[in-house]
Structure 1
């Protein structure tokens, strides 16, 4: 009998009572159980024990886990390979763009060397700069200005803008005083940087170009000639005394009706109107985007808040347009404000709009005013850009030209000299209202916001000169604005940048969303700071409370020398790849903090021509441009340029 049969036999043996196996059998069973799966029962006389089952289950789980880990590792390696491939593609794209950028710098610098040998004439002050023909200036039409700036000695070092620190709490001020002192805005930050390092053609050619502040700088020659006429220099004793705070009577007579209040700018008017119409924490409806400083105008003094009516950048239906204001959107915002427990007292309507440059029709304005009447809201209508429409296809209609207003007692119209007459520094704003109570209340605040008598006299004389206004200033201003607008839109089109095409205002609302790493206001601010580091001030959308990041306001009403140089500085950062891949971002954004553009703006005053050539040589050492271009091709119209080019070429090849 072999061992297996013996085991089976012994299992069937019982002790004398017939209830238990014999002791040797029990001992053998315990020993076999202790051996685990390796000593499992053989033959056909028994199944696996519990430990056998547990061990088999553990081994199966371990095998499954190992297979899963191997699968995960393979997937990880595949992802890393794909990521590495995408990274290499991006690096190739970046290298190609940097190579193209180097070539542009090299070409520009070559022209600068030639320009050094010549003395560039200085443009006379107030000289008209834009031609009024129908030809769109090309991207190279401003090279003379660029070369002049490059050849001039650098007077400042470009500093990285880190942002102003918020002041700490002052024990000397009230809570409101600390709130005012600590208030900061993007528009103010850019404007402060601009004034600290303002571009000057001769004294500071590497300074900041301001394409962010809405000013008309196209007609200084016309204004200078008119404002220096003898009738502007009149000084009367009454002009040096305290006037009626609403304004001198001669100025009010020019404005046709005594229901006009004169203050030192529309900002003061916004602040004063908010103070007399609203209590602290009351609200005023305003569509966004809007000129952001209105927030400070109505809040810093009066504690009045603005409730935003957000407009979509995408058309919402047939007949709609980007950022389209409708009565339905006003009604929706009104319901939301009421649900939040706000006491809405007024609505602000800007026509023509800032920054969209929309010109609302009489039908649209009537609908807005009827909405205000339904809810017993004051309508504050800002028409400060009323004379800036520069195309004949669009006509501006003031609400004051309507046969009748839906609610005359709650309709108040603002206007000023800053925009229509390019006199932002004169600080003259007016508000018209049929509401005698409002006028009397504003009169009490006029002592804080008065306009000097001599300034009022000059403005009255100017407004009375209809021949100069209608025969000289407005026609010439429109022509120059048309030319400047045509130039800027041509540059945007050449770069493929979408924008709102509107025939009014001093600015273009441009869509730069594709240049952001991601659609966020943090990235928008990063791009804005990148422009500022490269000496151009723009206005980003969040400064206007735009609900979609990536929109910028570009002011084009500047002399062509400034506009061309500012445009060049901006657009040199915005490089769009011609070919797109699904695994690569639509554009390679150049807004990272460590990206430095090598150009004349970063030059130290003491840097020599040799050091600049050395830096350029380092950048272009991998480029094959020198092999494809001969000095003879660059000679062009100026034979002297050939010698300059040859010398530079020899140096770069060493």
Structure 2
């Protein structure tokens, strides 16, 4: 996605015990554990890394400022696949040979439900106050509805307060605003990897804030462990390493449910992570943008706002948006909930640049107010459709013999394609991504999520059956060719000397 500069630390050697293959709820599927153990025991693991988005950036002679050139460089380097897709989007009738997008995390399964609800008469309202400058925190009627909505769906032990709510135009703005008001330029946030890679831009482009990576790997070390599992011990070791490099860490970013793993932190894990942050006086930014997209109820998802007591509420800041749970990423609506009024006020001041129109605020308030429709119509049907799409794609992956990680939350499956790389390098990973794109299917490769193991890809399944079928067919075609090339190369390598064509 972008070049980074890594400063690594080597962990002491530890012994790992073998465990039986875990099921989906355990976070490991279809023989993944054996693959994890075989492929990650060969090297000592990296513990941490400090991202430097401009490490390989070279200036040009354009009329832009140095900051402007960095911003343009991000666009040029990080958005290639997305731009290519938009120039050649698949359409069943108009462009059947176009690109199938299984790379962008959007829910495309419930447009019929949403379009019906948004077209109802109660959504169509105009009054003078909606066309004038609002309170920059958001209209009071909307913040009251957000507080009630989060209280109900997050199962908070006490009603949440409207004065703790700030409304912005999407999650990207939330990350940018929080990074700017919580950190000095050059400071860093800890973040476990792999993570949703666009956060790098969100915190860097405005605030010049970096990310300090807590590297996780796919190794399974026991019955109660899972691939890419975050622990307090890993957080402590990464923080110590980053501090030793002279980097000031101001906070910890957590995504729950996690993107791209679909992982869910238990209440016990959340309390441990929050306790770690409190000991080190770190802010915690908790992104819960997929909280209503947990389609396997047995997982028992818990919002951080459901905890009886937060160890450090003044440094705990919760994000949510309609982009994922309501499939409305184009609406650009996000909310911050924080009990720290200094943070709320500072973020609200930036809402001058990240606010929403009064008409959108009114519509969102009406939508969030309709608990009957949300709970009885939308969420059950949305979860059923997500389950069906997830089942189809996972069955296709099993038929291909591809290991994957997925736990029943979010819109994506974390897929292990390491066996299709000859040497196991990020360069090969990028080439494989290019082959998928050339074969008209867009995926996201692991490096974009700062995964430290080359060969992992994120496959988004929240799409209609016909597009999923065609997308998986195109994926199979690429992997069949790649598998043959890897086999030929292995055969050639085993022969001495290797015959060369004239």
Band of TM-score, shorter chain: 0.7 to 0.9
8 A Cα contact 1:280 1:302, kept in partner: yes
User: Which residue does the alignment assign to 1:484?
Assistant: 389
Alpha-carbon offset, residue 310 of structure 1: 0.3
Superposed CA deviations along residues 155-184 of structure 1, whole A, max 9, x for unmatched, are: xxxxxxxxxxx9962452221111112224
Alpha-carbon offset, residue 575 of structure 1: 2.2
8 A Cα contact 2:168 2:174, kept in partner: yes
Unaligned runs of 5+ in 2: 1-56, 148-161, 494-502
SS of 2:323's equivalent in the other structure is coil
Across the aligned residues of Structure 1 and Structure 2, the Cα RMSD in angstroms comes to 2.1
Question: Is 2:73 the counterpart of 1:182?
Answer: yes
User: Which residue does the alignment assign to 1:471?
Assistant: 376
Q: 1:289 aligns with which of 194, 198, 221?
A: 194
User: Which residue does the alignment assign to 1:206?
Assistant: 97
Question: Is 2:128 the counterpart of 1:237?
Answer: yes
Question: Is 2:145 the counterpart of 1:254?
Answer: yes
Q: 1:353 aligns with which of 252, 258, 278?
A: 258
Alpha-carbon offset, residue 501 of structure 1: 2.8
Question: Is 2:324 the counterpart of 1:419?
Answer: yes
CA distance in 2, matches of 1:205, 1:438: 49
The 5 Å alignment of 1:293-308 reads: 293-308=198-213
8 A Cα contact 2:420 2:486, kept in partner: no
CA distance in 2, matches of 1:245, 1:277: 19
Q: 1:216 aligns with which of 77, 87, 107?
A: 107
SS of 1:432's equivalent in the other structure is strand
Higher relative contact order (CA 8 A, sep 6+): 2
User: Compared with structure 1, are the counterparts of its residues 576 and 525 closer, same or farther at alpha carbon in structure 2 (3 Å cutoff)?
Assistant: closer
8 A Cα contact 2:439 2:478, kept in partner: no
8 A Cα contact 1:208 1:535, kept in partner: yes
CA distance in 1, matches of 2:94, 2:488: 48
8 A Cα contact 2:142 2:361, kept in partner: yes
User: Which residue does the alignment assign to 1:447?
Assistant: 352
8 A Cα contact 1:577 1:587, kept in partner: no
8 A Cα contact 2:420 2:479, kept in partner: yes
Superposed CA deviations along residues 216-243 of structure 1, whole A, max 9, x for unmatched, are: 0000111111111111111121111111
Question: Is 2:161 the counterpart of 1:270?
Answer: no
Question: Is 2:78 the counterpart of 1:173?
Answer: no
8 A Cα contact 1:210 1:537, kept in partner: yes
User: Compared with structure 1, are the counterparts of its residues 582 and 576 closer, same or farther at alpha carbon in structure 2 (3 Å cutoff)?
Assistant: closer
8 A Cα contact 1:168 1:182, kept in partner: no
CA distance in 1, matches of 2:471, 2:431: 18
CA distance in 1, matches of 2:385, 2:453: 32
CA distance in 1, matches of 2:73, 2:309: 45
CA distance in 2, matches of 1:579, 1:482: 33
CA distance in 1, matches of 2:441, 2:335: 32
8 A Cα contact 1:541 1:552, kept in partner: yes
Q: 2:338 aligns with which of 416, 433, 444?
A: 433
User: Compared with structure 1, are the counterparts of its residues 292 and 185 closer, same or farther at alpha carbon in structure 2 (3 Å cutoff)?
Assistant: farther
8 A Cα contact 1:515 1:574, kept in partner: yes
CA distance in 1, matches of 2:360, 2:453: 41
Alpha-carbon offset, residue 529 of structure 1: 0.5
CA distance in 2, matches of 1:568, 1:221: 26
CA distance in 2, matches of 1:579, 1:466: 53
8 A Cα contact 2:179 2:203, kept in partner: yes
8 A Cα contact 2:218 2:227, kept in partner: yes
Alpha-carbon offset, residue 585 of structure 1: 3.4
CA distance in 2, matches of 1:572, 1:270: 38
Alpha-carbon offset, residue 518 of structure 1: 1.5
CA distance in 1, matches of 2:58, 2:129: 44
SS of 1:423's equivalent in the other structure is coil
Alpha-carbon offset, residue 445 of structure 1: 0.5
User: Compared with structure 1, are the counterparts of its residues 584 and 479 closer, same or farther at alpha carbon in structure 2 (3 Å cutoff)?
Assistant: same
Alpha-carbon offset, residue 573 of structure 1: 1.6
Q: State the 4+ residue runs in structure 1 displaced beyond 4 angstroms.
A: 184-187, 576-584
SS of 2:325's equivalent in the other structure is coil
SS of 1:183's equivalent in the other structure is helix
Alpha-carbon offset, residue 583 of structure 1: 9.4
CA distance in 2, matches of 1:328, 1:213: 32
Q: 1:543 aligns with which of 448, 454, 458?
A: 448
CA distance in 1, matches of 2:78, 2:463: 18
Question: Is 2:221 the counterpart of 1:316?
Answer: yes
Question: Is 2:418 the counterpart of 1:513?
Answer: yes
Alpha-carbon offset, residue 516 of structure 1: 1.3
Superposed CA deviations along residues 130-156 of structure 1, whole A, max 9, x for unmatched, are: xxxxxxxxxxxxxxxxxxxxxxxxxxx
SS of 1:286's equivalent in the other structure is strand
User: Which residue does the alignment assign to 1:48?
Assistant: none
User: Which residue does the alignment assign to 2:245?
Assistant: 340
User: Which residue does the alignment assign to 2:303?
Assistant: 398
- Structure with higher Rg: it is 1
Alpha-carbon offset, residue 578 of structure 1: 10
8 A Cα contact 1:580 1:586, kept in partner: no
SS of 2:324's equivalent in the other structure is coil
**Could you state the TM-score of these two structures normalised by the residue count of structure 2?**
0.81
The 5 Å alignment of 1:101-140 reads: none
Instruction: Give the number of aligned pairs.
Output: 423
CA distance in 2, matches of 1:232, 1:265: 20
User: Compared with structure 1, are the counterparts of its residues 235 and 328 closer, same or farther at alpha carbon in structure 2 (3 Å cutoff)?
Assistant: same
**Could you state the TM-score of these two structures normalised by the residue count of structure 1?**
0.63
SS of 1:332's equivalent in the other structure is helix
Q: 1:228 aligns with which of 110, 119, 125?
A: 119
8 A Cα contact 1:206 1:535, kept in partner: yes
Alpha-carbon offset, residue 491 of structure 1: 0.1
Superposed CA deviations along residues 96-138 of structure 1, whole A, max 9, x for unmatched, are: xxxxxxxxxxxxxxxxxxxxxxxxxxxxxxxxxxxxxxxxxxx
